[in-house]
Amino acid sequence: MRERRRWAAILLAALALCLLTSCGGITGGTLKVGVKDDTTNFSLYSAESQEYSGMEIDLARRIARKLGYGGVEFVAVTAATREEMLDRGEVDMVIATFSKTEERLEKYDFSTTYYTDYVGVMVEESSLIGSLSELKDCRVGVMSGSTNALTLAQYMAEQGAIPAFDEDSFTPAGFDGGVTFVEFETYADISRALEYGEVDAFAADRSILNVYMDDSRVYLPDEFSPQEYGVCTPKGSQLSAKVEKTVQTILSDGTMDELIQKWRN
Amino acid sequence: METNTKKKSLFWSLLDDKKQKWHVRFRFILVMAIALAAVTLAILVIAGVRLRSTERHLYDTNWVRIDTVLAGLGDGVVEQDTLNEEYDKIYIAKLINTDYHYSRVSANDVDDAMFRDICAYADVESAAIIDGDGKVYASWQCPYDFTLKRFNMLRACASVPGATAQPFSIEYEDGVKRFFGLQVGTDRVLVFVEDWTEVKANIERMTSWEAVLRGMVSVDTVSIAISLNDYTFLYNPIDDLTGKYALQNGVPIECLRETYEGELTFGGETWCAVGKQWNNAMVFVMTKADTNLSNDSLLIFLIAVVLIICVGLVTAYGVIINIDNVRMGTMPRFITLLKGKDSDGRRKNLLNFNLTVAQKVLPIMVMGILAVVLIGFYIQTLNSLSAIAYEANWATDEIGNKLERNTEDAETLNTEYKALFLDKCVQIARMLEENPQYIMEFDTEADNVHPQPVERNEAGEIVSGLDVYGNPCWSVSEQEFLINLCENNAIERIAVFDEYGRIMATNQEDWYFTITGDPEDQSYPFWEILAEHRDTTAQDYAGDGEGGFSQYIGTAFHYYTIQDEDGSTRYVTKEDYAAQLAGRWAGGPILKHRGLLQISIVPERLRSVMETATLTYVASHTTVHGTGSILICDTSPEHICIYSPDPNDIGRSALSIGYSAEAFNELGEMFNGIVTVNGTEYLLTSKLKGEHFIGAAVPTSTVFSTGDSFLPVVVEVTVVALLVVSLYMCLFGAGEEQMYRDNEGVDHSRVRNEQEPFLLTMPSGKTRRVRSAAARWDAEEVAWRDMTPDQKFGAVAKGVLSAFAIFVFLCIVASLLGLVKIEAVNYVYDGVWSRGLNIFALTRCIITLLLMLVGARLVEFIIESATANIGSRAETLGHLLSSVVRYGSALVSIFYALYLFGLDTGSLIASAGILSLIVGLGAQSMIQDILAGLFIVFEGEFRVGDIVTVGDFRGNVLEIGLRTTKIEDPTKNIKVFNNSNLSGIINMTKEASYAAVDVSIEYGESLERVEAVLAAELPEVKNRLPAILDGPFYKGVSALGQNSVDLKITALCKEGDRIQLCRDLYRAVYLIFNKHDINVPFPQITVSYLKEDEKPRQEEAKPNEVDRTLEKLSEDEEEEDDEDKT
């Protein structure tokens, strides 16, 4: 009996030690995470209940817990503001359908990809546009600050829909190589412009386009340019390595699959 | 087993009596505990299985229901499409009509003013004409940039002759606009834009989630829908959650899978939900988890309690008898079931069956089984029936609501359609007035051109058939232009009537029809147009009585004629007529004629809405309790079926098919009952709802569908449990047998006095130990240890059953107060059900009786305890009040029960029928008694505790009741008087009485001496007799008797002591007389003998004998016992 009790004590101590070490030294405190507030299934803010919900929200909570934070504070960011807010230190990390590009990788640390999305193009049915080649001479609405315009132009050039162009000097607003781009501050604005006919197509990640889909709209059949979403931290941040480790754990132990499954309706 | 009994016997033999007894007691109490625990466990297991199966059943039902809901949603989408299509068709027709009307619309020199006219003509918001590049040639109120790719749909049809563009909507900030396009001329597109906000809202309202999901399923079941785009509730009636964010309002994201089954929580309640994905939405059908379960758990709970009580009582009885046997040292009668030998080789009985116990326990066991079966059956029936009635009630209400809703929809649509099609009709008329050539140019030789027959009136004048110029009139059937027009405008038929009300041209084959001026005729409104009483008419959409549905719309149509040189009739345009009016006309005089353009339409959507607005449709789409269906009858005396589960019955009298007349209560009471229709028994619930009787008929075979597997199981458990318990009570082994034998004849009972309480043997052979009959109405009770086993069992049973009654009472009260939800009880109390011999009335009756009984007992208790210590008057009043409460509650209950069972008690009381009934039953004396009782109490003639004499019966008043008074004499016998017989009462209760004795002395005695002796001795007497309050007093000579002088001596005392004091006084006086040799005279007979003189001696011995006896008496203790009357 006494023997057994001693074993139990040792086991308990071991367990406690494990718990302590797994905390990685950070105890308490709040992790500030920049997230989107308008992307259903990824991160959506409900004004009524004043809460965020979505796959990225769940992911952020798990990362914070694994890192030993006491809580998570969500800060709404957009594609245009997320980099700036990260630079200014207003958020510790960004988990906001932030896709990795070479340019961004130079400026920020990205974790391993947790979700891969593709860029798609949505048009109104009444515009009778049925394929990417018909998109020639059209105005395409894109989110300012996103890479969608460039990837679309690249893809169209690849497909021969528009002539090849100089990618280095590419800016969405200034491009005029067979297709024009109109930049908007919010996705809702693009959707409205598409409705009114101010733009002829809406290019964005499919996960985002899904939110704005309705009966009178269609997707063009092409999907291109895989977008690898990663957790973004400032370059050389102390967090980077820990976040990377955590994300890898989440990916390897199946948690991420669970989350993706959970939020895929 | 054998070693066990051996051990036991060895062990028991070592025990002393007391321990043995305790051992037996312990053994049986243990058995009782085990038995109860086992039964409870069994019940719990059954309950668990049962609840699970109910829950399963709930989910299964909802899986069926969700398919219906999804089908309904599918219908909704189809309806939405149909509606959209119909509206679109109307606008495309407008485009086509405009094209006909304004043949110059595609020319290059069109201007905006013309488009203003077009907008007015076609009644659209904006119009424009564009080419394939989106260039606008002319427009009115049309700010749209048609060069945008958004409008490709419109521009694309420019190159396809006669093409129409697929209409599409754009949601602008100021509303929804819908765009329609028609190719006209060469490479031009005529575009109409209409504000679609209201139409869209209307369509959405009629086909919305709410419209489809509300009231779709069943009572206590709702359907909700959640958008998978933004996770808001598309529809959720609970807590008004529609439009709210679902993920934080009770729906975890995990539920939003392809299919879902599980619990959801809304509004603080748990719902058993099943869900399926449908068109980017998740639809759930869910039922309140506790509604069905609470009914079932009530059933299970009650049966469990009854079962436990039964088992408990059987065990208790067995235990009591066994313990009594041991205690009294009685050897029970038994038969040996199993014989064997012990280790020493001696023969012994291993297993015995106790007949004494069996004989007593068996009837109780049978009664227990009966009780469980009866109560189980009763509760289950009540549950099922109340559930069905509840559901049927819901269904009938829902039918009413659905009808109302559908009728509203139909009316909205009807109005809209009437406006739209009238509009269209007027457009066509204008177009034809402008372009008479479309219909007026025909070849009289053609097959479809018919000369109209010439008709004359009575005077012989030609009425019709010839026009004003005397030329024959023609009717053109299957007119080509009109056929096209119909197709383009989605019109069923067009007919152009001339001024005589005859058809000039029609798209139909049938050309011979005349509008008449008969006000009764259907076509009268159209005649009014011809007669210039009105310009337009639009009939309501209605059936034509032959299965077809169409809507007729008409407008005035003018045509203009001129007579040619050759005498023939020529049709000219409105413009020519206008020219004539302006004086610019060169030809002959143009005559204007007022004709009529009539169109008829078959609006598909309106038809379907109209159909859904009919009783039949709603009824056929409503089910009750799974298999039940709806019956609808009218209020005529024959109750003609408007809808019935069997289509053959429709149109027949419900009474002739087998429905009973009681099912149709004109007063609005709900009917519940069994009817046999076409050989099938139905449980019918019906009531008057508006203009119809709506009933729900559930086949009786399916009434208990959800619970039929339950009752047999319960009965089995009961029988097995009771059998096992009773068998165990009856069996005993060798050890116990030995104990019984050792014990035989040894009485361990501690009854000190066998006489009190004494043993009473009943005619049935049972024994009771009682003190007196008074114990029945007094609180006096025999101590537990003095009771016979039967009494003990009775006491236990009474206690348990009272506890049960109080428990049920509390449950019912709690349910009525809404603290606990017992649906059956609430239904019985709040629901609408018909009076009569049915289960609801019975239940209500039982509940009322129980409430009355327990309530009355409670009131009685309060009254009695309140009045007990105040005084005798209060106590009497208390008795009386409790009697009033007791009899009053019983009387009220009986009346109420009669009322519930359908007797008209109101008139029974009103017509004094009940009084004559009481008199007739010989209750007249009862009333007398009651009145007398009231007088006794209020006049205070005597009270409880008084000493009274009634006739020759003297005693203490024990109790004054409403009807009887009980008086107890000093020997403790109780005489019960009817109050009305209590006349001439002597109330002997007063502060003090005089005890008076008459003593006699001989005539020879000196009175002075005696008086002196008495004066000296009497004060001494007072000292010896403490009952004397004052005296004794010598009161003089009371009589000079025949043989003696009688002296009177009195003493003041309490009335209770008086009689004994008299005796004591006699004794004292006698002793005094003896002491002073004063003789008390007694009749002396002197017998003379002629020869012998010895006899007188013997007679002298008598006083001596008396003396001795008196002395003996004086040695006895003086008892203060108020004994005996004289």
Q: Which residues contact residue B1050 at a Cβ distance below 8 angstroms, ignoring those fewer than 6 apart?
A: B994, B995, B996, B997, B1031, B1032, B1033, B1035
- Per-residue b or e along B1032-1063, where b marks 16 or more CB atoms closer than 10 Å to that residue's CB: bebeeeeeeeeebbebebbbbbbbbbbbbbbe
Phi, psi dihedral angles at B1007 (to 5 degrees): -65, -35
Three-state SS at B26: helix
Q: Do B277 and A265 touch (CB under 8 A)?
A: yes
Question: In degrees, to the nearest 5, what angle opens at C-alpha B119 toward C-alphas B114 and B122?
Answer: 115
Enumerate the residues of chain A whose CB falls inside 8 A of the CB of residue B156: 128
Same domain, B515 and B646: no
Q: Is residue B683 part of a domain?
A: yes
Of B680, B702, B724, the last residue of a domain is B702
Q: How do strand A93-94 and strand A30-35 relate by DSSP bridges?
A: parallel
Cα–Cα distance between B179 and B195 in angstroms, integer? Answer: 9
Residue A79 has a CB neighbour count (10 Å cut-off) of 24
Q: Which of A127, A195, A262 sits opposite B171 (nearest CB)?
A: A195
Q: Is residue B692 part of a domain?
A: yes
Phi, psi dihedral angles at B337 (to 5 degrees): -95, -35
Cα–Cα distance between B908 and B127 in angstroms, integer? Answer: 81
Q: Do A128 and B153 touch (CB under 8 A)?
A: yes
* Phi-psi category of residue B407: left, alpha or beta, with phi > 0 → left and psi -120 to 50 → alpha: alpha
For residue B108, give the DSSP letter: T
Task: Find, among B905, B987, B908, the residue nearest to B940 by Cα.
Answer: B987
Q: Do A211 and B230 touch (CB under 8 A)?
A: yes
Enumerate the residues of chain A whose CB falls inside 8 A of the CB of residue B170: 195-197
Give pLDDT, residue B177: 92
Cα–Cα distance between B450 and B909 in angstroms, integer? Answer: 83
Cα–Cα distance between A70 and A61 in angstroms, integer? Answer: 10
Task: Find, among B664, B667, B702, the residue nearest to B681 by Cα.
Answer: B702
Same domain, B459 and B565: yes
Q: Is residue B517 part of a domain?
A: yes
Of B702, B728, B749, the last residue of a domain is B702
Enumerate the residues of chain B whose CB falls inside 8 A of the CB of residue A51: 248
* Alpha-helical regions (H) of B466-599: 480-489, 524-530, 574-581
Residue A112 has a CB neighbour count (10 Å cut-off) of 17
DSSP sequence for B189-240:
EEEEEEE-HHHHHHHHHHTSHHHHHTT-S-TTEEEEEEETTT-BEEE-TGGG
Q: How do strand B455-456 and strand B758-761 relate by DSSP bridges?
A: unpaired
Q: List residues bridging with B760 in a β-sheet.
A: B768
Give pLDDT, residue B590: 87
Same domain, B963 and B1036: no
Same domain, B557 and B577: yes
**Which uninterrupted H or E stretch holds B809?**
helix B789-817
Q: Do A262 and B253 touch (CB under 8 A)?
A: yes
Same domain, B846 and B946: yes
Residue B720 has a CB neighbour count (10 Å cut-off) of 12
Sign of CA dihedral B810, B816, B820, B824: positive
Task: Determine the residue type at B103.
Answer: S
Residue A162 in this model has a pLDDT that exceeds 50: yes
> What residue numbers bound the domain in which B655 lies?
634-702
Of B964, B984, B1004, the last residue of a domain is B984
Cα–Cα distance between B926 and B921 in angstroms, integer? Answer: 10
Same domain, B962 and B998: no
- Using CA coordinates, name the residue in chain B closest to A195: B170
Nearest-CA distance B260 → chain A (Å): 12
Q: Is residue B642 part of a domain?
A: yes
pLDDT band at A24 (very low <50, low <70, confident <90, very high): very low
Task: Find, among B269, B233, B232, B216, the residue nearest to B224 by Cα.
Answer: B233
- Is there a contact between A198 and A71 (Cβ–Cβ < 8 Å)? no
Q: Is residue B1057 part of a domain?
A: yes
A48 part of contact set with chain B, CB < 8 Å: yes
- Using CA coordinates, name the residue in chain A closest to B241: A48
Cα–Cα distance between B179 and B167 in angstroms, integer? Answer: 5
Task: Determine the residue type at B65.
Answer: R
Both tokens assigned to B60? 């299964």
Cα–Cα distance between B359 and B354 in angstroms, integer? Answer: 9
Enumerate the residues of chain B whose CB falls inside 8 A of the CB of residue A200: 148-150
Q: Do A53 and B248 touch (CB under 8 A)?
A: yes
* Alpha-helical regions (H) of B868-944: 872-900, 905-910, 913-920, 924-939
Cα–Cα distance between A68 and B461 in angstroms, integer? Answer: 109
Could you give the maximum distance between any two Cα atoms of chain A, in Å? 84
- Is there a contact between B523 and B497 (Cβ–Cβ < 8 Å)? no
Nearest-CA distance B266 → chain A (Å): 16
pLDDT band at A2 (very low <50, low <70, confident <90, very high): very low
Same domain, B937 and B1034: no
What's the number of domains chain B is made of? 4
Task: Find, among B655, B645, B704, B691, the residue nearest to B675 by Cα.
Answer: B655
Both tokens assigned to B68? 């219906």
DSSP sequence for B110-175:
--HHHHHHHHHHHT-SEEEEEETT--EEEEES----TTSGGGHHHHHGGGSTT-BPPPEEEEETTE
Report chain B (1126 residues): mean pLDDT per 10 consecutive residues. Answer: 41 48 64 75 75 76 81 75 81 85 77 87 88 88 88 88 88 90 88 88 75 68 81 82 79 81 82 84 82 61 77 79 73 78 73 80 82 79 74 76 74 77 84 83 82 80 78 85 82 86 86 80 83 82 58 88 84 85 84 88 65 65 69 80 76 80 74 77 78 79 59 76 78 72 64 51 62 54 70 83 84 78 69 66 82 85 79 72 79 80 66 59 71 75 78 81 80 82 76 79 81 81 79 82 83 80 86 83 79 54 50 46 41
A136 part of contact set with chain B, CB < 8 Å: no
| ipTM, two decimals | 0.76
Nearest-CA distance A2 → chain B (Å): 37
Task: Find, among B81, B90, B92, B68, the residue nearest to B204 by Cα.
Answer: B81
Q: Is residue B887 part of a domain?
A: yes
Q: Do A126 and B151 touch (CB under 8 A)?
A: yes
- Is there a contact between B1041 and B1085 (Cβ–Cβ < 8 Å)? no
A193 part of contact set with chain B, CB < 8 Å: no
Same domain, B452 and B552: yes
Give pLDDT, residue A191: 92
For residue B263, give the DSSP letter: E
Could you give the maximum distance between any two Cα atoms of chain B, in Å? 192
Give pLDDT, residue B1: 38
Both tokens assigned to A138? 């059209």
Which position has the token pair 């604005």? A189
Residue A192 has a CB neighbour count (10 Å cut-off) of 18
Give pLDDT, residue A181: 92
Question: In degrees, to the nearest 5, what angle opens at C-alpha B584 toward C-alphas B582 and B586?
Answer: 135
pLDDT band at A194 (very low <50, low <70, confident <90, very high): very high
Same domain, B882 and B956: yes
- Using CA coordinates, name the residue in chain B closest to A136: B149
Phi, psi dihedral angles at B50 (to 5 degrees): -60, -50
A180 part of contact set with chain B, CB < 8 Å: no
If one looks up domain A119-226 in CATH, what number appears? 3.40.190.10
Cα–Cα distance between B918 and B915 in angstroms, integer? Answer: 5
Q: Do A265 and B148 touch (CB under 8 A)?
A: no
Three-state SS at B916: helix
Chain A segment 213-232 residues within 8 A of B by beta carbon are 213, 216
Q: What are the strands of the beta sheet with B1030-1040, ordered from one edge?
A: B993-1001, B1045-1053, B1030-1040
Q: Do B229 and A213 touch (CB under 8 A)?
A: yes
Task: Find, among B953, B991, B988, B985, the residue nearest to B971 by Cα.
Answer: B953
Q: Which of B153, B229, B249 sits opposite A211 (nearest CB)?
A: B229
Task: Find, among B334, B429, B300, the residue nearest to B40 by Cα.
Answer: B300
Task: Find, among B137, B144, B132, B147, the residue nearest to B112 by Cα.
Answer: B137
Give pLDDT, residue A35: 92
Cα–Cα distance between B227 and B237 in angstroms, integer? Answer: 15
Same domain, B912 and B1032: no
Helix, strand, coil proportions of chain B in percent (round to 5)?
50, 20, 30
Q: Do B248 and A129 touch (CB under 8 A)?
A: no
- What is A25-114+230-262's CATH number, 3.40.30.10, 3.40.50.720, 3.40.190.10, 3.30.930.10? 3.40.190.10
CATH 3.40.190.10 residue ranges of chain A are 25-114+230-262, 119-226
Give pLDDT, residue B990: 65
Same domain, B471 and B575: yes
